[in-house]
Structure 1
Amino acid sequence: MDSVRSCIRLCLEQLEDRIVPSASINLTFATTTDTRTISVNYTISGGSLTGQNVSFNIYRSSAYGSLNGAQLIGTATIPGSDSTDLSAGTHTGVKLALTAPNGQPVTVLTPNTARPFIVVVANLDNSSASFETHVLGVIVHGSEFDPIQILTNQPPPWEVRMAEDLQLYDGYEAVIPFDWLLLCIIPSPSAIVIASNMLYQQVTAEANQLASQHPGDVVDIHFIGDSRGSVVVSQVLQDLVGTTDPALQGGYMQMTLLDPHPANASDSFFKWLPSLSTADDLAVLGIILDHIWQDQLIVPSNVDQVQDFDEQTPPGQLGFLMGFLETHFSTQLFEFMFSIWGQPAGDIPNLSGQPIEQVNLTNVFVPNLGLIGHGEVPLWYLENVVDTDETFSYFG
């Protein structure tokens, strides 16, 4: 009997495409808390990224969240060995140390008013986060003894113009031209304390208003102190050391000193013509005020860049008279008799760890300003630094 064999046909059925789940990273927030590193929040989904280097590109941009026309300022990498920061889940406050395109570490996030936004991109899946670095200018004039200015409580004209030009030419978002005319003439050390407290309140209020525009925003501040105004600036910066205000904690702090003149008994930075009785009277007044005020100027530890534009131009020079004939500035005649000097960089206590960049204007004659004395330094700075858009780049 013939056996019957059953025939089994094997059919291969095509399976639908399967996607193997992979981990991804989603950036949700970025800021800086030290003006050197970028701090980011992100969520890792679909598993851990441990074992895989996760890289980021960091850009300067002219618009929030946009890479159009953006400039790469650095890259950063979380190494695959960092199992803590690459585990699945939500991560906050992870700091990214930047390497510049030239291979050097980025040591500071210098202000850039043309590209105020920082955009962080995770290269794994191109998720991004952005924040803005606002630029605030603060100008503080020195002691003023012009009776008309004091009676009308009007700050010196150069301060008003500088505030306007910092916004017009340098792109500052806001400027505080601080007026302490009625305080600066008070013969008491408490005048500096009161003025610095007032300015501190103005600075923090303005900074927090600016930083409220986007999550993670910070405020870079350029403090400009003229003569005794440098002492007010110094005190405000000291008060900001260790601040926990997010708007200011990651802000770049620049301190520009315009012929800084702290009035105290140990540093009498002035000379006069003893042959003139008026000059003798001014010298006596200067010595008395130095003993009363007892100003102290230091560069605090939170300053990222410090500049000193100073002069020690002697009185009695024909250049002052020539300057008066050309400019009709009454300060030129005053400085012919009595010349107030600025404190040179080497004499300023510096706790910042940054070098004091200096321009010495002693005996410099400028056609539209005359011989550079104490009163002309702010005008020289206005024309040669502010109006040329070099407040952050003058020294390179």
Structure 2
Amino acid sequence: MRLDRWIARRASRPRSGRWRPRRWRRAPLDLLEARTLRASGAAPVAVALDAASTADSHAVSVSFQVVGLADGDRAEFDVHLYRSADDRFDPDLDRLVGTTRVVVQGDGRPAVLGSTTVVAPDGLKPTPNRPFVLAVADPDNALGEPEESRADNVAGFRKHIIGVVTHGGLQGSSFPPEWAAILSDSLRDLGYDAVITYTWAGESSTPGAAPKQGARLANILLHTAQLFPWDEPVDLHLIGHSQGNVVNSAALLALERLSTPQLAAGYTRATLLDPHAAKNGAPGQASFTADLEGWLARQAASAYQWLADDPFVTIPLFVDEAEVYYQHTPAELDGLPWSHNLWGQAPVVGRARYSDLTGPGMTHTGPTGVQTWYFKNVVPTLADGGTFVNPTAMTGRLVVSPGDRTTGDLTRTALASASYTGTAAPGGRVRLLSQTVPGGPFLLLDEATVSPDGSWTLTTPKLPRGHYRMLVRGIVPAGDGPWTDFYPLLPLGRLAVRPGLDRPPPPP
């Protein structure tokens, strides 16, 4: 048989099933695992920040672009917010103030554009030591981006600070008091970009002159803010003493109606040192000695305030932070040979935090005034953002047992001994006091030292049946200066000791 015939016959012969080629079947698409195939030379996923800005110093808007992301692929990375001393990111030195998570999905374009917002929970406060705000994308390099291409992962801006120091009324000359000049110089030394010592001493003895200064101060602030770049936020820190807070309050109310983009994007802090508007009927007026000189001083103060009729010190809504340091020290305990001691008027109108500095030797003005205490104990913290100092802050409550019954501030208990717990300044002393008759003497029940973590616990001895008004008296350090201690007093409610209260009633 010829070879060509044999091949033709062999090819036409049907084959058995085991030799028949099997047809390849394609799996359904929904059963396949999603994968991204890259060429061996494909660039890795990289993120770059284009810009960072803030409109209110509480959140930062960040725009970015992600390259190297295939269609349908997804990338996740963090964007952190830092306060820095310069425009270069240093993870060991810069302070983290906010973070957010970003998820980006590829859409087929070479670069995916996006934006996000990073919130700073405590706000971007005036911080002379760290004027720069830096947004950093993927600081932990979760995307595996090469180190040489990570220079564009940072974007940020610089903040500027304007400080204002405003003295009170009834100055003896046309020059500002010495403390105002010293405080202003200290703010400059801390790194404030501009400091205004607002002086109205020549008009400070004229009733009604304080509110008129507000528009002038606001105009100065508007012009000063324009000295800085238009696209960089400008923070404000207004510090006023006594009637100077009327001036600052009027200026803030004017800025609420008219401002600049720099000021609107900045952080505004108001510090009120013993605020006192010349207005009869304002909360917290003064203490006068019980003699003829004290009576004359009371009449003179009332007459002056009637003529002045200043508006109440008010904190506008746009102010980010307001802190009030005040004292209500009796004139007999202020340590000065004066017949009166003006008090800080607290509370003020608006949202604020309060620090009560009442204590022996603490006064409204002079070398032992509230402004001196602030200079010695708070100003040193301003370089790194400032700390609200409240040495007299104290909390306390009754440790309730299962059988106790509480109605309002009255707790009825069957236990002859009760325990109280709370917080106070570490290192201070606390005393548990009781009073059985309103206006009667106090009985010392227990005393202890506040632990380093600020907690305290006090326990009464066995009390006889009766009603008791319970209080805790703190003895806390007054801080740096000529003062010794503050003595905050905190009511703890009433306690009714009823032995057998937890027993079931007798059967009928």
Do they superpose with TM above 0.5?
yes
- 1:97 CA displacement: 2.7
Q: Which letter maps to 2:276?
A: H
**Does the CA-based 8 Å contact 1:67-1:119 persist in structure 2?**
no
Aligned to 2:348: 348
**1:49–1:114 CA distance, 2 compared to 1 (3 A):** farther
Paired with 1:234 and 1:108, the residues of 2 have a C-alpha distance of 22
Q: Does 1:383 align with 2:383?
A: no
Q: Given the alignment, which residue of 162, 173, 194 partners 1:174?
A: 194
More helix by share: 1
Give the unaligned 5+ runs of structure 1: 4-16, 99-104, 321-331, 366-370
Q: Look up the SS of the partner of 2:158 in the other structure.
A: strand
Question: Could you state the TM-score of these two structures normalised by the residue count of structure 1?
Answer: 0.73
- 1:108 CA displacement: 1.7
Aligned to 1:10: none
Q: Does 1:133 align with 2:133?
A: no
More displaced, 200-209 or 43-52? 43-52
Q: Which letter maps to 1:80?
A: V
Aligned to 1:96: 117
Aligned to 1:59: 82
Aligned to 1:14: none
More displaced, 158-167 or 172-181? 172-181
**1:54–1:184 CA distance, 2 compared to 1 (3 A):** same
Q: Given the alignment, which residue of 257, 274, 285 partners 2:272?
A: 257
Paired with 2:318 and 2:110, the residues of 1 have a C-alpha distance of 35
Paired with 1:80 and 1:242, the residues of 2 have a C-alpha distance of 41
**1:37–1:284 CA distance, 2 compared to 1 (3 A):** same
Give the unaligned 5+ runs of structure 2: 5-38, 144-148, 391-508
**Does the CA-based 8 Å contact 2:213-2:247 persist in structure 1?**
yes
**Does the CA-based 8 Å contact 1:342-1:374 persist in structure 2?**
no
Aligned to 2:341: 339
**1:140–1:122 CA distance, 2 compared to 1 (3 A):** same
Q: Look up the SS of the partner of 1:192 in the other structure.
A: coil
**1:192–1:40 CA distance, 2 compared to 1 (3 A):** farther
Deviation digits for residues 300-341 of structure 1 (CA, Å, limit 9, x no counterpart): 212222221111122244x52xxxxxxxxxxx33xx212211
Q: Which letter maps to 2:360?
A: V
- Equivalent positions of 1:5-16 (< 5 A) are none
**1:220–1:310 CA distance, 2 compared to 1 (3 A):** same
**Does the CA-based 8 Å contact 2:82-2:133 persist in structure 1?**
yes
Percent identity among equivalent residues?
Answer: 25
Q: Given the alignment, which residue of 383, 391, 395 partners 2:389?
A: 395
Deviation digits for residues 179-235 of structure 1 (CA, Å, limit 9, x no counterpart): 1112322223xx3343111111222222332x32xx742122221110011122122
Aligned to 1:361: 357
**1:249–1:51 CA distance, 2 compared to 1 (3 A):** farther
**1:388–1:88 CA distance, 2 compared to 1 (3 A):** closer
**Does the CA-based 8 Å contact 2:274-2:327 persist in structure 1?**
yes
**1:90–1:289 CA distance, 2 compared to 1 (3 A):** farther
Q: Which letter maps to 1:201?
A: N
More strand by share: 2
Aligned to 1:37: 59
- 1:33 CA displacement: 1.1
Paired with 2:122 and 2:258, the residues of 1 have a C-alpha distance of 20
Q: Does 1:77 align with 2:101?
A: yes
Deviation digits for residues 341-360 of structure 1 (CA, Å, limit 9, x no counterpart): 1113xx2222x4xx5131x2
Paired with 2:110 and 2:237, the residues of 1 have a C-alpha distance of 40
- 1:378 CA displacement: 1.0
Q: Given the alignment, which residue of 311, 314, 320 partners 2:327?
A: 311
More displaced, 290-299 or 40-49? 40-49
**1:57–1:192 CA distance, 2 compared to 1 (3 A):** same
Q: Which letter maps to 1:64?
A: D
Paired with 1:266 and 1:378, the residues of 2 have a C-alpha distance of 24
**1:292–1:39 CA distance, 2 compared to 1 (3 A):** farther
Paired with 1:32 and 1:393, the residues of 2 have a C-alpha distance of 23
**Does the CA-based 8 Å contact 1:58-1:74 persist in structure 2?**
yes
Q: Given the alignment, which residue of 159, 176, 197 partners 2:180?
A: 159
Aligned to 1:323: none
**Does the CA-based 8 Å contact 2:341-2:363 persist in structure 1?**
no
Higher relative contact order (CA 8 A, sep 6+): 1
Q: Which letter maps to 2:363?
A: I
**Structure ID, larger Rg:** 2
